[in-house]
Amino acid sequence: MRTDILIIGAGAVGLGVALAAKQRFPERTVAVLEKNPHEFGETSLYNSGVIHTGVHQRPGLLKSKLAREGSRELVDFCKLHQVPIRQSGMLIVASSRDFRHLAAEVHHLWLLWRNSHSQNLHLHVLSSRGIRELEPEVRASLGIYLEDVWVVDQPALGKKLAATCRSQGIRLQFQTEVFSLIKVGRNYLVETTEGDFSAPIVVNAAGLSADIFANQAGFCHYRHYPWRGEYYEVTGGKANLIQRTLVYPALRPGHPVKGIHLTKPASNNRLLIGPNAKPAGNRSRNSFEKTPPQEFLEGAQRFLPDLEEGDLTWAYAGLRSKTNPAVGEDDFGIHLDSCSPHLVNLIGIESPGLTSCLAIGRYVASMLTT
- What is the 3-class SS of 274-294, one letter each residue? ECCCEECCCCCCCCCCCCCCH
Q: How far is 370 from 341, CA to CA, in rounded Å?
A: 10
What are φ and ψ of residue 249, in 5° steps? -75, 160
* Residue 325, pLDDT score: 66
What are φ and ψ of residue 320, in 5° steps? -135, 160
Q: In the chain, where are the structural domains located?
A: 5-46+155-222+329-365, 90-147+225-322
* Residue 147, pLDDT score: 95
CB 57 within 8 A of CB 332: no
Q: How far is 227 from 308, CA to CA, in rounded Å?
A: 27
Q: Which CATH architecture has domain 90-147+225-322?
A: 2-Layer Sandwich (3.30)
Question: DSSP 3-state assignment of 319?
Answer: strand
CB 9 within 8 A of CB 206: yes
Question: DSSP 3-state assignment of 310?
Answer: helix
Sheet holding 30-33, edge to edge: 171-173, 30-33, 5-8, 201-204, 342-347, 333-339
Whether residue 226 is preceded by a cis peptide bond, meaning omega within 30 degrees of 0, is no
Helices assigned H by DSSP within the chain: 12-24, 62-81, 99-118, 128-134, 154-167, 210-216, 294-301, 353-365
Q: What are the average pLDDT values for consecutive 10-residue runs of the chain, which has 370 residues?
A: 98 99 98 98 94 90 95 98 97 89 92 89 94 97 96 98 99 98 97 98 97 96 93 95 95 79 92 92 72 96 95 95 74 94 96 97 91
Residue type, 298: E
CB 195 within 8 A of CB 53: no
* Residue 160, pLDDT score: 99
* Residue 214, pLDDT score: 97
Question: DSSP 3-state assignment of 331?
Answer: coil
Q: How far is 222 from 219, CA to CA, in rounded Å?
A: 7
Q: Is the pTM of this model over 0.75?
A: yes
Question: DSSP 3-state assignment of 178?
Answer: strand
Contacts of 6 (CB under 8 A, 6+ apart): 30, 31, 32, 33, 188, 190, 197, 198, 199, 201, 202, 203
Nearest to 189 by CA among 343, 19, 13, 350: 343
Return the CATH class of domain 5-46+155-222+329-365. Answer: alpha beta
* Residue 99, pLDDT score: 80
DSSP at 163: H
* Residue 254, pLDDT score: 66
Q: CA 43: distance to chain centroid?
A: 7
